[in-house]
A and B are shown apart, each in its own frame.
Chain A
């Protein structure tokens, strides 16, 4: 279940199509390379353009604007947006929101994922059915009633707890944990039980070390949710000091951008600030975030 295994699998799978390389196959190879390169350029160009645009002192939307021009470079857009939005506070808020969700998902998600995969208990079927139903019902239907419950009945508006609560345990992550625990050989657990190990010790010292790749997958998958979430924190936080970056930037785009000298530059600077941590984290961990992890989740 390590990535080396996965990489070899891919290599081997790639082999059959290379069998008997003739002229048409080579043409196809070139064609698929072209397709991949074009797709990569299309994927990355907006990010490149985002960075270039955020550094322009005068907006240049022409073709020449797509290339950095030393005479038209500035860091002023970053300070312009920082004047209106407290970027540090907003980043910290995003961090607290995302971190809270990650902690809850990892702790409680592993517990329930393990129980669903490895333990026989009454009501397991119902819990699993709910897990599936959650994925189908759109969050937006629950949004308004949730708002009333959390803001009014629990009094958690403008509060980190209120922000975190609806996302606290990511059901997709629970699903991935379950699939992983399910794949582990049953003998492991039987042996542990014969030795008289309790369920908590079995989980902690036998099962958990074996599902580390699933943990990373779940971390990255869970991270994307709250870090990018706009609608819920937008509703629940009205105090600018509590708003995560995604909300602060959206407010900035829709209301204050028109009053600065170079609104697009300022918007793009904010976009860079929002995108950078997520992209950096993904690149740092991408080796671990391999397709097999999700593949096993898909089959279930």
Chain B
């Protein structure tokens, strides 16, 4: 028995084939690679790839550069996630109240999201280099050494950039969620004489809880996959490796240095962490709803 409408199998077949080719097989290959001694060879060159157990994982976990790259992503998330949640929610709520210029504002917030990182990183480099506009405006308050060569500021600046770039998308998610809050709640709050702040705190914030869960999760996945920004901003993880990310190291080790097995191990660890975060996130938001 293939179900009531077996034609569904036919409809799904292209997508399933696609997932097998570009998702399941590479995922299996990556996991396999991470447990073997593997490097890329020219076609026709057969080289044994002996099983090495957890050797690649041990190599990764004992490499201080890898550990600090995870720490950098931690710093990134500490700045990016709360900032994203707060700014997106506040701006979405304000946008929801606004009467005039809503279309313009929505476009304004969304434009950074639709533009390629490669394009806007160029402008940010121009704005934040040591002789750039930001430092000119800040004058004596400008950090020394400048932002992107300052190991304290490089990662926060990247986090700020990503927040700026993604904000429009998250505002959109919150706008949708705000419309699902029954307006009777606001009306009864108004009759009870609740202040604006209390209304926001006791009705709006709980009302968008599931959206917040999604925003946090998506922002974290973005953080875990951080690559383009440090690659372009700091010339591959500078200054002094203060802005490396796990994916940047995967690229360096896997492609530049010819150790794809080690790179795959980093990737598997990263995926497991993201899955755990996702599960915890889901657990928290489900518990909150009960």
Contacts and interface: CB of A to CB of B under 8 A. Distances in A.
B232 A53 contact: no
B190 A295 contact: no
Contacts of B172: 291, 294
Contacts of A42: 164
Contacts of B214: 298
A141 B23 contact: no
B114 A114 contact: no
Interface of B: 1-9, 11-12, 14-16, 18-19, 21-27, 29-30, 33, 40, 43, 87, 90-91, 93-99, 101-127, 129, 131-133, 136-137, 164, 167-168, 172-173, 175-181, 183, 186-187, 190, 195-196, 199, 210-211, 214, 221, 224-225, 227-228, 232, 235, 247, 250-251, 254-255, 260, 263-264, 267-268, 270-271, 274-275, 278
B111 A279 contact: yes
Nearest to A249: B118
Contacts of B251: 140, 231
A141 B15 contact: no
Contact of A253 (B102, B199, B232, B263): B232
B221 A136 contact: yes
Nearest to A46: B123
Contacts of A224: 113-114
Given A14-B97, A121-B4, A294-B176, A138 B267 contact: yes
A281 B113 CA distance: 13
A228 B117 contact: yes
Contacts of A24: 195-196
Contacts of A119: 3-5, 7-8, 11
Given A6-B179, A149-B21, A292-B176, 9 more contacts: A18-B97, A53-B123, A62-B136, A108-B14, A121-B2, A249-B122, A253-B122, A275-B119, A286-B103
Contacts of A199: 5, 7, 11
15 contacts: A13-B96, A13-B183, A47-B120, A124-B8, A127-B15, A138-B225, A149-B25, A228-B117, A231-B227, A267-B125, A270-B119, A271-B118, A282-B110, A286-B107, A295-B176
A286 to B, nearest CB: 6
Nearest to A251: B118
Contact of B105 (A40, A120, A275): A40
Contacts of B9: 115, 121-123
A217 B183 CA distance: 26
Given A43-B167, A136-B274, A224-B113, A19 B232 contact: no
A59 to B, nearest CB: 8
B97 A29 contact: yes
Interface string A166-209: 10110000100000000000000000000000011000000000
Interface in A258-300: 264, 267-268, 270-272, 274-275, 278-279, 281-283, 286-287, 291-292, 294-296, 298-299
Interface residues of A, number: 107
Contacts of B270: 138, 140-141
A235 B254 CA distance: 12
Given A144-B250, A275-B119, A127 B16 contact: yes
Interface in A127-141: 127, 130, 134-141
Contacts of A246: 116, 118-119
Contacts of B93: 32
A43 B161 CA distance: 11
Contact of A141 (B30, B40, B179, B187): B30
A264 B133 CA distance: 13
A149 B11 contact: no
Interface in A57-108: 61-63, 65-66, 108
Nearest to A119: B8
A12 B190 contact: no
A144 B254 contact: yes
Nearest to A130: B19
B108 A17 contact: no
A267 B264 contact: no
Contact of B22 (A44, A50, A146, A227): A146
Contacts of A165: 21-22
B11 A111 contact: yes
**Most A CB atoms within 10 A — which of B1, B33, B95, B123?**
B123
B103 to A, nearest CB: 7
A9 interface: yes
B274 to A, nearest CB: 6
Most buried by A among B18, B43, B227: B18
A144 B30 contact: yes
Contacts of B16: 112, 127, 130
A296 B124 CA distance: 35
Given A61-B136, A66-B133, A145-B29, A122 B1 contact: yes
